[in-house]
Amino acid sequence: MKESHTLINSDFQQPFSASYSRVLQDREEIIDYPPNSHVRIWYNSEPYDYENHYHNCVEILYMLENDCSAKFPTKNISLNAGDIMIIPPYIMHQITSSRQSKQFVILMDVDLLVKFDIYASRDSFNDILLCNKDNCPQIYNIIKNNIIDMINYYFINEDYWQLDIYSLYLNIISTLGKSGVLNKGIQVKTNSASNKEHYDKFAELLQYLELNYSEQITLDSISSHVGFSKYHFIRLFKEYTGSTFYDYLTNKRIHHAKELLKTNMGITEIAFSCGFNNQTSFCRSFKKEVGCTPTDYRQQESKK
């Protein structure tokens, strides 16, 4: 078995000047990555309770000391020292620790990986993976060493650190796939087949909305898309996301519009590109959500 790599830093303070905080929009966590990057790594060493949430990135938990609990709609997982858990995007989860524990939380935007057919086509990449010495002894040290190297690259923050981290993540996925782990069902068992079906459908739905928020989506069309009656869909969507469907879709459109307002694109063009029928409805929704008009927001951002 390969010799274990070691963590280089000791304090693990964020290596970037900008400050970061957790931002929740209903139950969706809006990831605040460092400037010009798509990776964020946190070091936790205190008891904590991260309320039920999801995000559009993959999350990797690497436990250093003691334990914590990961709660999902269909399963609960106890994590112990040395355990590695990979949570795909849009999976609702809650992480709690009642006593002092030490772990790293790695958050990565993996949208670009859907370009790889092998990644996008495997159902196993859409379920929670638990990796430890017991359930994957042949590859555990390889996976752990890759994660330790990811952490070192992030906190040392040398040139090309982000490319190095993505290459290590791809190596993790490749190692899991080639070893057959993904096909052997390392995934922990769910409590209910019907709950699991709902759980998977809504995780897939949120990913679909992330890619298609600009389309003219109606409640009838989207409930049909996931195979539920409209009224059943309304209840389940609120239960899963903490938001009504139309509020969620509007918030998603506004979020993307805020990014476009940092460019030179015209207001009307932004409105249509984000799925609004006209500039008036866009401006009204934007002001209700953000507290100012799109033009005022653009001016505020230009002064930063």
Do residues 114 and 227 both lie within one domain?
no
Sheet harboring 75-79: ordered strands across?
Answer: 48-53, 93-97, 68-72, 75-79
Q: What's the structural domain count of the chain?
A: 2
CB 225 within 8 A of CB 218: no
CB 258 within 8 A of CB 248: no
Do residues 150 and 236 both lie within one domain?
no
Do residues 143 and 77 both lie within one domain?
yes
- DSSP letter assigned to residue 72: E
* Cross-strand bridge partners of residue 60: 86, 106
Domain presence at residue 32: yes
Do residues 169 and 27 both lie within one domain?
yes
Spatial separation of the C-alpha atoms in residues 257 and 251, rounded to whole Å = 10
CB 252 within 8 A of CB 212: no
Domain presence at residue 77: yes
> Mind listing the pLDDT tens digit for each residue in 51-64?
888 888 999 999 98
pLDDT at 1: 43
Residue 220 sits in a domain whose CATH number is 1.10.10.60
**Domain limits at 238?**
213-302
Do residues 85 and 218 both lie within one domain?
no
pLDDT at 243: 85
Do residues 134 and 244 both lie within one domain?
no
Residue 217 burial (CB count, 10 A):
17
pLDDT at 172: 92
Do residues 102 and 218 both lie within one domain?
no
Angle made by CA atoms 133, 139, 140, in degrees to the nearest 5: 35
> Mind listing the pLDDT tens digit for each residue in 72-98?
876 788 889 999 999 988 888 888 886
Domain presence at residue 197: no
pLDDT at 267: 94
Angle made by CA atoms 10, 13, 16, in degrees to the nearest 5: 135
CB 28 within 8 A of CB 55: yes
Domain presence at residue 118: yes
Closest by Cα among 68, 40, 285, 283 to 157: 40
* Cross-strand bridge partners of residue 96: 49, 69
pLDDT at 191: 45
- DSSP letter assigned to residue 126: G
> Domain boundary at 162, 183, 204, which?
183
Domain presence at residue 200: no
- Tokens 């505020």, residue located: 300
Do residues 155 and 33 both lie within one domain?
yes
pLDDT tens string for the chain (304 positions)?
456 789 987 788 888 876 667 777 778 888 888 888 899 998 988 777 778 888 889 999 999 888 888 888 767 888 899 999 999 888 888 888 867 778 899 999 987 776 666 555 555 566 788 899 988 888 999 999 999 999 999 999 899 999 999 999 999 988 988 887 665 544 444 444 456 667 678 878 888 888 899 999 999 999 888 888 888 889 888 888 888 999 989 989 998 999 899 999 999 999 999 999 999 999 999 999 899 999 999 998 887 6
Q: Estimate to the nearest angstrom the gap between the alpha carbon of 143 and the chain centroid.
A: 20
* Cross-strand bridge partners of residue 129: 86
Helices (H), the chain: 117-121, 140-156, 161-178, 193-212, 219-226, 230-241, 245-260, 267-273, 279-290, 294-302
What are the φ/ψ torsions at residue 86 (nearest 5 degrees)?
A: -110, 120
